[in-house]
Amino acid sequence: MSFLRRSNGADSSKTRVGDPNIEKDGAADDDKKKDQCKIPQRRNYGSKKWSCWDNCCWFIGFICSIWWFCLFLYNTMPDSIPQFVTMAITGPLPDPPGVKLRKEGLTANHPVVLVPGVVTGGLELWEGRHCAEGLLGKRLWGGSFGEFYKRPLCWLEHISLDNDTGFDPPGIRVRPVTGLVAADYFATGYFVWAVVIANLAHIGYEEKSLYMAAYDWRLSFQNTEIRDQSLTRIKSNIELLVATHGGKKVVVLPHSMGVQYFLHFMKWVETPAPRGGGGGPDWCAKHIKAIMNIGAPFLGSPKSIALHFSIEVRDIAALRAQAPGLLDKDVLGLQTFKHLMRMFRTWDATFSMIPKGGETIWGGLDWSPETETVNNSAKKGTDNSTRNTGGNGNICDTKGVNYGRLISFSKDWAETHSSKIERVDFKHVAKGDKLMNSSNCDIWLEYHEMGNRAIKAVADHKVYTAGSILDLLHYVAPKLMARGASHFSYGIADDLDDPKYDQYKYWSNPLETKLPNAPDMEIYSLYGVGLPTERGYIYKVAPPSDCSIPFQIDTSVDGDSEDSCLKGGVFSGDGDETVPIISAGFMCAKGWRGKTRFNPSGIRTYNREYKHAPPANLLEGRGTQSGSHVDLLGNFALIEDVLRVAAGATGEDIGGDRVYSDIFKWSERINIKL
């Protein structure tokens, strides 16, 4: 303490009170000390470095925060705000067809039946394996598809059918969802029938006057009746609708494969029991006012060939090309292409989509209805092409295109005149030399039983038309096609009075069965035009590997010009991206037009085409003028036609035929006995 006092005293003796210099020095020292105290703090903060982990966490947190904030706004803001924003950007929105027609005084009249197509109807689980615990009564198909991501192999096992019986595997029961919710939306935010239903509601329809004819679209058409009595349910519900609406007949709206399913139904319902519904020869005449077929694959679709042959279509092939080998490899125990083909080939209903009518309808080696005659032997100096103008005036240049060649192995064989092609008869080539290490392959694919010699023979055949495509499928997948051939047929009947055509395998083929005796009924074909639609493919033999699918679309092949119909190994024609115009339009343009052997009572038929126009902006969603296969169900012009007919109008009242394509000219080139 004394030391401290002496020190303080010494210091104080040297300090003169009031000396300004000393005060300044003290203040400066204090400031200096403060600055010295601050400097280390700045250095500490500035020296801290962010790791990649910190950046990732902050980025994920930021994205999640924005996502939840937007989700909160979406669920809390009034419904009028998005509409207000859209109107501020695009201007006043047109009235939906239902609102427009209600202002005109149209009201609900005829009950309406909706028939969904392939894959658009929901499926739910009623019994499953141990791996599906907790999914009873939940959707396996449609909705969120959440279970696909959680347990993909289990999901694939349950969504596939038994390869021998065509029904559910033992211990599994998957059944169609019922009611309007079965196919209003395919997945969250992706409408199927929702827009049509909403517009029907605007003019007074409700659930008691609407019926969704849901069925298990995986099963063959006749098997839906054997397992679920789906055809009987449709018959009973239509009879109920007619009875509860004062005898007013129904208007039926089938879409996509539902068109073929309802063709099968019309033959079944009038066939005597037990083979059919026993409704009598005038059942359709008494109960159906009109059938408005939407996106109708009456005569099949080339897409189904590619799916059965290599589980590819244009988009999948392009994806495969961008990531070579990824989808073929065993990623996390899931060999994507192998399992997709395994699943798809168990769905018997898909056989109904294989092209019907052979070369008579789809063309031969050197001609097709869309291009008439192609003179490939004199390509240079001769322009014998036509412009496939269809719905938008410029689909592609058909110069040198042989649409009749559905599959070609190389671009050269797709273009060479038939007189210069020598083809191997693959059907007699034995399949003895199995691929190496094929014991682990799944027999569902059947490809591992072919061997290299058989694969080479398929490629050496070079070109396949609709007349030889069935032979090809029977050769590469005989077990698969044996089952398919027992349920569906693809020819043209010589004599429709032949008793063999009373068998159910012919009922969904409009070229092998008669329309019902219902002269007052009307049949419409409503389809989109103006979109590139798959019409033929160029294939290559894939590099050999264990359990591989040996054939692939050759995405490296393009046409010689920028607007060629050949891009990425796929020939495109006009249509709705899924169904070519020939398939959708021929029957109503010629096959059923007037009294023909396919339409003995002269049911009136109409072709109504909808020219595709893309959405004007992102706020328009999938567009109100789309001609795409599914988006067509949101096309305002189509919905207006449907509503007018449901309210009582006839085909003549809505203007009769409306076409933008050359469907009538193309149909005249098809030489078929009527």
pLDDT digits (tens, 9 = 90+) for 449-497: 788 888 999 999 999 999 999 999 999 988 889 889 999 999 999 999 9
What would the two tokens of residue 308 be?
């059965």
548 vs 327, 337, 569, CA distance in Å?
Answer: 11, 9, 20
Question: Radius of gyration over alpha carbons of the chain, in Å?
Answer: 33
Provide the pLDDT for residue 634. Answer: 95
pLDDT tens column, 378-392: 333 333 344 444 444
Crossing angle for the helix pair 302-310 and 336-344, nearest 10 degrees?
A: 120
Tell me the HSE value of 241 on the side-chain side, using a 13 A CA sphere: 30
pLDDT tens column, 510-557: 999 999 999 999 999 999 999 999 999 999 998 766 567 889 999 999
Contacts 24+ apart (CB under 8 A), 554-561: 554/410, 554/411, 555/317, 555/318, 555/320, 555/321, 556/321, 557/410, 557/411, 559/397, 561/397, 561/399
The answer to whether 156 touches 172, Cβ cutoff 8 Å, is no
The answer to whether 281 touches 517, Cβ cutoff 8 Å, is yes
**What pLDDT band is residue 337 in, cutting at 50, 70 and 90?**
confident
Closest CA to 431 of 450, 448, 456: 450
Which residue shows structure tokens 């092998």? Answer: 512
- Angle (CA) 526 531 533, round 5°: 90
Residue spans of the domains in the chain: they are 302-370+397-501+532-573
| Percent of the chain clearing pLDDT 90 (strictly above) | 61
pLDDT tens column, 633-644: 999 999 999 999
Catalytic-residue membership of 256: yes
Catalytic-residue membership of 629: yes
* Spatial separation of the C-alpha atoms in residues 366 and 359, rounded to whole Å: 11
Catalytic-residue membership of 2: no
In the predicted structure, residue 670 carries a pLDDT above the cut 60: yes
**What pLDDT band is residue 342 in, cutting at 50, 70 and 90?**
confident
Q: What is the DSSP letter of 333?
A: T
Provide the pLDDT for residue 558. Answer: 92
Q: Looking at this protein, which amino acid is placed at residue 351?
A: F
Q: What is the 3-state secondary structure (H, E, C) of 582-610?
A: HHHHHHHHHHCCCCECCECCCCEEEEEEE
Residue 274, preceding bond cis, omega within 30 degrees?
yes
Indicate if the alpha-carbon torsion angle 389, 395, 399, 405 is positive or negative: negative
In the predicted structure, residue 17 carries a pLDDT above the cut 50: no
Provide the pLDDT for residue 60. Answer: 81
The answer to whether 613 touches 531, Cβ cutoff 8 Å, is no
Q: 196-200, 289-293, 412-416, 601-605 — which is least confidently predicted? A: 412-416
Q: What is the mean pLDDT of residues 274-301?
A: 97
In the predicted structure, residue 327 carries a pLDDT above the cut 70: no
Q: Tell me how far the alpha carbon of residue 534 is from its chain's centroid.
A: 13
* Spatial separation of the C-alpha atoms in residues 82 and 136, rounded to whole Å: 37
**What pLDDT band is residue 68 in, cutting at 50, 70 and 90?**
confident
Which residue shows structure tokens 């599994």? Answer: 172
**What pLDDT band is residue 89 in, cutting at 50, 70 and 90?**
low
Q: What is the mean pLDDT of residues 651-657?
A: 97
Catalytic hit among 209, 397, 629, 631: 629
The answer to whether 124 touches 138, Cβ cutoff 8 Å, is yes
**What pLDDT band is residue 434 in, cutting at 50, 70 and 90?**
low
At 351, phi and psi to the nearest 5?
Answer: -65, -25
* Spatial separation of the C-alpha atoms in residues 672 and 597, rounded to whole Å: 11
Q: What is the mean pLDDT of residues 311-322?
A: 79
* Spatial separation of the C-alpha atoms in residues 240 and 110, rounded to whole Å: 13
In the predicted structure, residue 14 carries a pLDDT above the cut 60: no
Q: Which residues pair with 455 in a beta bridge?
A: none
Stronger pLDDT, 339 or 540, i.e. the higher one: 540
Strand positions, DSSP E, 61-219: 112-115, 123-127, 139-141, 173-176, 185-187, 190-191, 210-212
Indicate if the alpha-carbon torsion angle 664, 665, 667, 668 is positive or negative: positive
Q: Which residues pair with 628 in a beta bridge?
A: none
Q: 156-165, 327-336, 547-556 — which is least confidently predicted? A: 327-336
Which residue shows structure tokens 């005060």? Answer: 23
**What mean pLDDT is reported for the chain?**
85
213 vs 227, 244, 524, CA distance in Å?
Answer: 16, 17, 19
In the predicted structure, residue 616 carries a pLDDT above the cut 80: no
* Spatial separation of the C-alpha atoms in residues 318 and 315, rounded to whole Å: 5
* Spatial separation of the C-alpha atoms in residues 640 and 51, rounded to whole Å: 60
At 3, phi and psi to the nearest 5?
Answer: -65, -40
b/e string for 644-672 if b means 16 or more Cβ within 10 A? bbbbebebeebeebebbbbbeebbeebeb
In the predicted structure, residue 7 carries a pLDDT above the cut 50: no
DSSP string, 397-449: E-TT--TT-SEESSHHHHHS-GGG-----GGG----SPPTT-TTS-TTT-GGG
Helix/strand/coil for 360: helix
* Spatial separation of the C-alpha atoms in residues 186 and 203, rounded to whole Å: 24
How many other C-beta atoms can be found within 10 angstroms of the C-beta atom of residue 13?
A: 8
Q: Looking at this protein, which amino acid is placed at residue 513?
A: T
Q: What is the mean pLDDT of residues 98-125?
A: 96
Longest dimension (CA), the chain: 135
Helix/strand/coil for 387: strand
Provide the pLDDT for residue 29. Answer: 55
Stronger pLDDT, 4 or 136, i.e. the higher one: 136
Surface-to-core class of residue 456, CB atoms within 10 Å of its CB (0-12 exposed, 13-18 middle, 19+ buried): middle
**pTM for the full model?**
0.85
Closest CA to 355 of 345, 363, 343: 363
Helix residue ranges, H only, 48-151: 52-76, 80-90, 97-103, 146-150
The answer to whether 561 touches 606, Cβ cutoff 8 Å, is no
Provide the pLDDT for residue 515. Answer: 98
Q: Please state whether beta strands 463-464 and 407-408 pair in parallel, antiparallel, or not at all (unpaired).
A: antiparallel
Catalytic hit among 220, 230, 256, 667: 256
In the predicted structure, residue 200 carries a pLDDT above the cut 60: yes
What would the two tokens of residue 98 be?
């239902």
Indicate the length of the chain as a whole number. Answer: 674
Provide the pLDDT for residue 626. Answer: 94
Contacts of 126 (CB under 8 A, 6+ apart): 136, 137, 173, 174, 175
Provide the pLDDT for residue 650. Answer: 97
Give the best-scoring range by mean pLDDT among 80-94, 216-230, 360-374, 613-627: 216-230
Helix/strand/coil for 294: strand
Catalytic hit among 184, 216, 576, 641: 576
Q: Which residues pair with 143 in a beta bridge?
A: 187
* Spatial separation of the C-alpha atoms in residues 602 and 218, rounded to whole Å: 33
Q: 151-155, 287-291, 351-355 — which is least confidently predicted? A: 151-155
What would the two tokens of residue 568 be?
């990425």
| Percent of the chain clearing pLDDT 70 (strictly above) | 80
Q: What is the mean pLDDT of residues 280-287?
A: 97
**What pLDDT band is residue 432 in, cutting at 50, 70 and 90?**
low
The answer to whether 565 touches 397, Cβ cutoff 8 Å, is yes
What would the two tokens of residue 366 be?
């050197």
Closest CA to 118 of 267, 300, 291, 286: 300
Q: What is the mean pLDDT of residues 112-128?
A: 95
